[in-house]
């Protein structure tokens, strides 16, 4: 009887943990998403940070200046940024990856 129950428990555990692991894997950002990020930056960020990201009214946000930020911490920062807080969570994540790119 115990052996039969293992045939059901083991696959169930594998499915549950497999789902959890899959949920934790970061989304791969496509080239189209990165193009969208460039457009988001042009529309919402460049007026303060300049189109080359070297700073204007806002600070320099070129990749070397952001080296101490992880993509996740940068996305979290964008949640409270005055213009980026109007973006969706997905847009903030894509923008964070775009900003980290060299």
3-state SS, one letter per residue, for the chain: CHHHHHHHHHHHHHHHHHHHHHHHCCCCCCHHHHHHHHHHHHHHCHHHHCCCCCCCCCCCCCHHHHCCCCHHHHHHHHHHCCCHHHCCHHHHHHHHHHHHCC
48 in any annotated domain: yes
5 in any annotated domain: no
Q: What is the pLDDT of residue 34?
A: 61
Confidence band (pLDDT; 50, 70, 90) for 55? very high
20 in any annotated domain: no
85 in any annotated domain: yes
- Structural domain count of the chain: 1
Q: What is the pLDDT of residue 36?
A: 87
80 in any annotated domain: yes
Domain with residue 77: its CATH number is 1.10.760.10
8 in any annotated domain: no
Task: List the domain range (segments joined by +) for residue 78.
Answer: 31-102
98 in any annotated domain: yes
Q: Over the stretch 61-89, which tens digit does the pLDDT of each residue have?
A: 998 888 888 888 988 888 888 778 788 88
For range 50-56, the mean pLDDT:
93
């Amino acid at each position: 009887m115990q052996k039969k129950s293992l045939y059901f428990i083991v696959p169930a555990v594998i499915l549950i943990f497999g789902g959890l692991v899959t949920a934790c894997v970061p989304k791969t950002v496509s080239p189209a998403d990165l193009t969208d990020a460039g457009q988001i930056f042009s529309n919402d960020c460049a007026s303060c940070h300049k189109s080359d990201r070297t700073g204007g009214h806002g600070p320099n946000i070129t990749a070397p200046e952001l080296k101490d930020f992880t993509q996740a911490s940068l996305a979290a920062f964008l949640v409270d940024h005055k213009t980026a807080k109007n973006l969706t969570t997905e847009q903030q994540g894509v923008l964070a990856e775009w900003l980290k790119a060299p």
